């Protein structure tokens, strides 16, 4: 077919179909290579933590996941489902199999198994460390697919590149950050992609895949409720705006049926999800669940929209078979009957919800609606920093320039508004709201921001480069070849049409600028119109440069964030000395290692709940409370013990079989997130359950404060509305200076420098010389960051002492008090 002339005249030939399909094929290959590179980028930008520190599991929750994965790889899947963990929440224990989202664990376990069955000896730890980077590569590919469905491959590639390095996501998925979010973001974006794909194609195949992807998401993260609310909302939006189609039905109905069935297979969700009354909150807005209230889900909206879509489908069907007149009659009939039924249903629902004790609102759901709710009423939720509302700088830190590009992306989505672009708009709007409630949910915002910014950037480049392209030859003085593509040298077109088609079928056509649906609806006119919308050449060149600059700034910021801000594993701290040397603070592992080798296997270690997961995973010792804060009373007991005087604390700990008490103390090296700074939460949570712990006892009131000249302490200025401040200096209350936490932290501290100057609180401590009567120091780490004390054994009773009568009286009187105070007696 190829004529020799065309080959000869190649350079001046008008771009034709043959060259175009070839260009598409090249575009496909280039897009593929770009995607691979994006995957590599997403993976490698997360390796800063391994390079700068080491290949190690990070922070707190990842240690639990790691421990579960170890258990899974050692004992197999059935033992994992039935695992009752007796090494935590002593003496209650925890049913791990039924209370954990198994997606991450099963994923890493499967990877480990596959790799080992190929005789590649990777340790479980290595697999766990690198799971998150691998899945962030997947997530950026999923973002490509999703954006491609919405606005074409160009936008898709841009969005994928943006998502590959968005700091918000990096913060949760650096190598070693082995947490649910790492795989869940991939699952989230991929589920959305499949939903959009189904919506665009109306294929039942994709609908089924969508249900499976949703199932994976349910397995992975409590954030699945986001999906199960967003999709019904979108369906509702489509119906309301008159965009109902059979494709919408296929996209939604199978997802509801299959997805719900599959979701109920996950023990942690189960059928409870359908039955509990927590749905009501989600009817208004959805919830991100985490460790504690894993049952909250939002089947209500789901089911309601399910009904609505059927009604609408029926209506459309009837409309098809009836004459318009008959249809009007039918509509009035149906509407009146429907209204009556709806009223009845709503009445029943209200009755059900009103009869349930919590009125259908869980604490965490309320946090979403009223951000101040938790800090007022649920200290255990408020005590976690990631549950606090974010500040403006944190938006800039986490999504950077995307924050400015998102509005442009929203505008681009409105021209034209399609089913898929309306979904993206809905996604960004809801996620922006939720990110404003909790810092954690910034993570859900990140993909949406990337997708919209990708669309915005791609559209902007599209307009600008088109303007440039249109005008450049104009300057050359030959408008007739304005459309000529300088690079379109034409090789003889392929003689086999089939391969050409195959090339055309390739998903990515990078150079394709028009979007499919757009063309379908209004083919040529809009195009010629667009051709006319041309910006001045200088302006567009400058704009392109500025956009490139913006992109460069984003890249620089992301790399900085990945390298400096988010790659610290938090169990190892480093500081740079003045001469440029690196000093490593490895105290946590020192302490855990000591516990693991030098205490008995069955010894119980008490510490504040933050260190629970790490203690069980690294030291392999039984703990009272851990980061799965499911039992508030138990945590309050530990809080009470920590804020009680030594003797009472000893009694509480002794009654719980505790042998060692671990406290984290930063006063020597200036490590700010130590137990003294967390102490207000111990008091608050303890006092919330055991009323004899009264917060005012620990506070120095403002009236006293005013008399002070130097004010260099303030470690609890987070809550200025409280009447007073926690302080540990000379003005501190006696209750504070005598509580266990103070004593264990500052035991013999004064001897380090002679004054007892606390480098975190920047003050001298109040009570300097004291002795411990019920505890003895057994280990303190190199920088004093972790101190471990042992409970002294009970004193032998000495018979026939002269003070017998006196002591027995005092003991009995104390016991009365204790009976009330100690919940374990």
d(Cα 511, Cα 501) in Å, to the nearest integer? 17
d(Cα 438, Cα 431) in Å, to the nearest integer? 11
CB of 792: closest distance to other proteins in angstroms? 10
Q: Does 751 sit near other proteins (CB under 8 A)?
A: yes
Q: Does 501 sit near other proteins (CB under 8 A)?
A: yes
**Binding piece for other proteins, criterion CB under 8 A, among 74-82, 308-316, 491-499, 558-566:** 491-499
Q: Does 26 sit near other proteins (CB under 8 A)?
A: no
Q: Vertex 97, ends 230 and 297: CA angle to 5°?
A: 20
Q: Does 755 sit near other proteins (CB under 8 A)?
A: no
99-138 residues near other proteins, rule: CB under 8 A:
118-121
CB of 147: closest distance to other proteins in angstroms? 18
Q: Does 768 sit near other proteins (CB under 8 A)?
A: no
**Binding piece for other proteins, criterion CB under 8 A, among 85-93, 496-504, 549-557, 804-812:** 496-504
CA of 774: how far to CAs of 514, 643, 650, 744, 770, in Å? 77, 15, 6, 11, 12
The SS3 of residue 657 is: coil
d(Cα 655, Cα 784) in Å, to the nearest integer? 28
The SS3 of residue 564 is: helix
CB of 574: closest distance to other proteins in angstroms? 9
Q: Does 151 sit near other proteins (CB under 8 A)?
A: no
Do 507 and 580 contact (CB within 8 A), yes or no? Answer: no
Q: Vertex 155, ends 150 and 156: CA angle to 5°?
A: 75
780 bridge partner residues = 787
**Binding piece for other proteins, criterion CB under 8 A, among 132-140, 499-507, 553-561, 687-695:** 499-507
- Burial class of residue 295 (count of CB atoms within 10 Å of its CB; 0-12, 13-18, 19+): middle
Quick one: which of 646, 245, 226 has its CA closest to 420? 245
Q: Does 476 sit near other proteins (CB under 8 A)?
A: no
d(Cα 94, Cα 447) in Å, to the nearest integer? 34
Exactly one of 466, 512, 759, 768 binds other proteins (CB under 8 A); that residue is 512
Exactly one of 74, 310, 516, 694 binds other proteins (CB under 8 A); that residue is 516
Decide whether 121 or 393 has the Cβ nearer to other proteins: 121
Q: Does 701 sit near other proteins (CB under 8 A)?
A: no
Q: Does 17 sit near other proteins (CB under 8 A)?
A: yes
Decide whether 243 or 589 has the Cβ nearer to other proteins: 589
d(Cα 261, Cα 257) in Å, to the nearest integer? 6
CB of 752: closest distance to other proteins in angstroms? 6
- Sign of the alpha-carbon dihedral angle for 669, 673, 675, 678: positive
Decide whether 366 or 788 has the Cβ nearer to other proteins: 788
Q: Does 73 sit near other proteins (CB under 8 A)?
A: no
Exactly one of 780, 791, 821, 822 binds other proteins (CB under 8 A); that residue is 780
CB of 72: closest distance to other proteins in angstroms? 18
Quick one: which of 314, 197, 209, 212 has its CA closest to 247? 197
Do 69 and 63 contact (CB within 8 A), yes or no? Answer: no
CB of 248: closest distance to other proteins in angstroms? 22
CB of 619: closest distance to other proteins in angstroms? 9
50-69 residues near other proteins, rule: CB under 8 A:
54-56
CB of 590: closest distance to other proteins in angstroms? 4
Would you call the peptide bond into 416 cis, given omega within 30 degrees of 0 as the criterion?
yes
Q: Does 310 sit near other proteins (CB under 8 A)?
A: no
**Binding piece for other proteins, criterion CB under 8 A, among 299-307, 549-557, 625-633, 777-785:** 777-785
Task: Take residue 191 and report the two structure tokens written for it.
Answer: 């589920």
d(Cα 34, Cα 41) in Å, to the nearest integer? 10
The SS3 of residue 90 is: coil
CB of 179: closest distance to other proteins in angstroms? 18
518-547 residues near other proteins, rule: CB under 8 A:
519, 523-524, 527-528, 531
How many residues contact other proteins, by CB under 8 A?
68
Exactly one of 325, 576, 597, 797 binds other proteins (CB under 8 A); that residue is 597
Do 599 and 659 contact (CB within 8 A), yes or no? Answer: yes
Q: Does 798 sit near other proteins (CB under 8 A)?
A: no
The gap from C-alpha 303 to its chain's centroid, in whole angstroms, comes to 26
Decide whether 214 or 665 has the Cβ nearer to other proteins: 665
Would you call the peptide bond into 91 cis, given omega within 30 degrees of 0 as the criterion?
yes
Q: Which helix (H) or strand (E) holds 201?
A: helix 180-201
d(Cα 681, Cα 5) in Å, to the nearest integer? 83
Q: Which helix (H) or strand (E) holds 731?
A: none
d(Cα 165, Cα 171) in Å, to the nearest integer? 10
Q: Does 601 sit near other proteins (CB under 8 A)?
A: no
DSSP state of 270: T
Q: Does 794 sit near other proteins (CB under 8 A)?
A: no
Q: How many helices (H) and strands (E) does the chain have?
A: 39, 13
Exactly one of 24, 220, 629, 822 binds other proteins (CB under 8 A); that residue is 24
**Binding piece for other proteins, criterion CB under 8 A, among 242-250, 273-281, 511-519, 800-808:** 511-519
Decide whether 72 or 682 has the Cβ nearer to other proteins: 72
* Contacts with other proteins, 709-748, as mask; x by CB under 8 A: ---------------------------------------x
602-641 residues near other proteins, rule: CB under 8 A:
618
Do 427 and 230 contact (CB within 8 A), yes or no? Answer: yes
Do 195 and 231 contact (CB within 8 A), yes or no? Answer: yes
Exactly one of 76, 407, 474, 497 binds other proteins (CB under 8 A); that residue is 497
Do 42 and 513 contact (CB within 8 A), yes or no? Answer: no
CB of 584: closest distance to other proteins in angstroms? 5
- Burial class of residue 371 (count of CB atoms within 10 Å of its CB; 0-12, 13-18, 19+): middle
**Binding piece for other proteins, criterion CB under 8 A, among 399-407, 600-608, 774-782, 810-818:** 774-782
Residues that bind other proteins (CB under 8 A): 1-3, 5-6, 9, 12-21, 24, 54-56, 118-121, 479-480, 483, 493, 497-498, 500-502, 504, 512, 514, 516, 519, 523-524, 527-528, 531, 571-572, 584, 586, 589-590, 592-594, 596-598, 618, 748, 751-752, 776-782, 784, 790
């Amino acid at each position: 077919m190829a004529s020799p002339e065309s080959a000869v005249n190649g350079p001046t030939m008008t771009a034709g179909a043959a060259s175009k399909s070839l260009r598409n094929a090249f575009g496909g290959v280039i897009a593929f290579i770009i995607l691979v590179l994006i995957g590599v980028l997403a993976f490698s930008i997360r390796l800063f933590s391994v390079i700068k520190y080491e290949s190690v599991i990070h922070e707190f929750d990842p240690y639990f996941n790691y421990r579960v994965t170890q258990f899974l790889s050692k004992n197999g899947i059935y033992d994992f489902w039935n695992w009752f963990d007796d090494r935590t929440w002593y003496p209650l224990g925890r049913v791990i199999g039924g209370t954990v989202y198994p997606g991450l664990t099963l994923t890493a376990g499967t990877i480990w198994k596959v790799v080992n069955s190929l005789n590649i000896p990777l340790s479980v730890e290595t697999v766990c460390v690198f799971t998150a980077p691998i899945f962030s590569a997947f997530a950026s590919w999923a973002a490509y697919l999703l954006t491609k469905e919405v606005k074409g491959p160009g936008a898709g590639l841009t969005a994928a590149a943006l998502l590959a390095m968005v700091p918000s996501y990096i913060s949760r998925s650096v190598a070693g950050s082995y947490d649910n979010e790492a795989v869940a973001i991939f699952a989230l974006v991929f589920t959305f992609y499949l939903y959009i794909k189904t919506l665009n194609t109306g294929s039942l195949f994709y609908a089924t895949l969508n249900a499976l992807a949703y199932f994976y998401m349910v397995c992975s993260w409590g954030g699945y409720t986001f999906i199960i609310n967003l999709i019904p909302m979108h369906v509702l939006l489509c119906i309301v705006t008159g965009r109902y189609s059979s494709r919408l039905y296929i996209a939604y109905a199978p997802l509801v049926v299959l997805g719900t069935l599959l979701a109920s297979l996950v023990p942690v969700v189960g059928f409870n999800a359908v039955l509990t009354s927590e749905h009501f909150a989600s009817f208004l807005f959805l919830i991100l669940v985490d460790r504690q209230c894993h049952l909250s889900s939002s089947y209500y909206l789901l089911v309601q929209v399910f009904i609505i879509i059927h009604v609408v489908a029926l209506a459309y069907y009837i409309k098809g078979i009836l004459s318009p007149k008959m249809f009007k009659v039918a509509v009035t009939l149906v509407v009146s009957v429907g209204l009556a039924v709806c009223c009845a249903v709503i009445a029943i629902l209200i009755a059900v919800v009103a009869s349930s004790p919590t009125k259908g609102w869980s604490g965490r759901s309320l946090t979403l609606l009223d951000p101040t709710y938790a800090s007022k009423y649920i200290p255990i939720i408020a005590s976690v920093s990631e549950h606090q509302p974010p500040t403006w700088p944190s938006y800039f830190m986490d999504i950077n320039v995307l924050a400015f590009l998102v509005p442009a992306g929203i505008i681009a989505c409105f021209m034209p508004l399609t089913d898929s672009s309306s979904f993206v708009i809905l996604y960004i709007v809801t996620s922006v709201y939720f990110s404003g409630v909790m810092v954690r949910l910034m993570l859900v915002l990140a993909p949406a921001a990337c997708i919209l910014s990708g669309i915005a950037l791609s559209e902007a480049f599209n307009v600008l480069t088109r303007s440039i392209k249109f005008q450049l030859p104009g300057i050359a003085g030959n408008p007739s070849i304005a459309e000529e593509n300088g690079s379109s040298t034409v090789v003889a077109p392929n003689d086999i049409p089939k391969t050409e088609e195959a090339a055309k079928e390739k998903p990515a056509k990078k150079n394709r600028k028009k979007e499919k649906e757009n063309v379908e609806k209004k083919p040529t006119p809009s195009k010629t119109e667009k051709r006319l919308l041309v910006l001045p050449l200088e302006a567009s060149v400058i704009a392109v440069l500025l956009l490139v600059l913006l992109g460069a700034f984003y890249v620089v910021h992301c790399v900085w964030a990945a390298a400096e801000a988010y790659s610290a594993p938090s169990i190892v701290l480093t500081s740079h000395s003045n001469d440029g040397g690196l000093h490593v603070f490895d105290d946590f592992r020192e302490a855990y290692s000591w516990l693991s080798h030098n205490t008995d296997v069955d010894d119980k270690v008490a510490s504040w709940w933050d260190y629970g997961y790490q203690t069980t995973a690294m030291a392999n010792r039984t703990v009272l409370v851990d980061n799965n804060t499911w039992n508030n009373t138990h945590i309050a007991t530990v809080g009470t013990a920590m804020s009680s005087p030594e003797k009472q604390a000893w009694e509480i700990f002794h009654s719980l079989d505790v042998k060692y008490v671990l406290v984290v103390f930063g006063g020597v090296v200036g490590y700010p997130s130590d137990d003294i700074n967390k102490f207000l939460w111990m008091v608050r949570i303890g006092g919330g359950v055991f009323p004899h712990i009264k917060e005012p006892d620990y506070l120095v009131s403002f009236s006293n404060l005013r008399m002070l000249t130097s004010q260099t302490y303030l470690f609890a200025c987070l809550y200025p509305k409280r009447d007073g401040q926690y302080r540990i200096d000379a003005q501190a209350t006696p209750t504070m200076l005598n509580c266990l936490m103070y004593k264990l932290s500052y035991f013999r501290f004064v001897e380090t420098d002679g004054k007892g100057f606390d480098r975190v609180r920047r003050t001298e401590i109040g009570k300097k010389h004291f002795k411990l009567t019920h505890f003895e120091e057994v280990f303190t780490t190199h920088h004093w960051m972790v101190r471990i004390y042992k409970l002294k054994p009970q004193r032998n009773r000495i018979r026939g002492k002269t003070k017998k009568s006196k002591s027995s009286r005092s003991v009995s009187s104390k016991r009365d008090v204790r009976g009330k105070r100690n919940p374990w007696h």
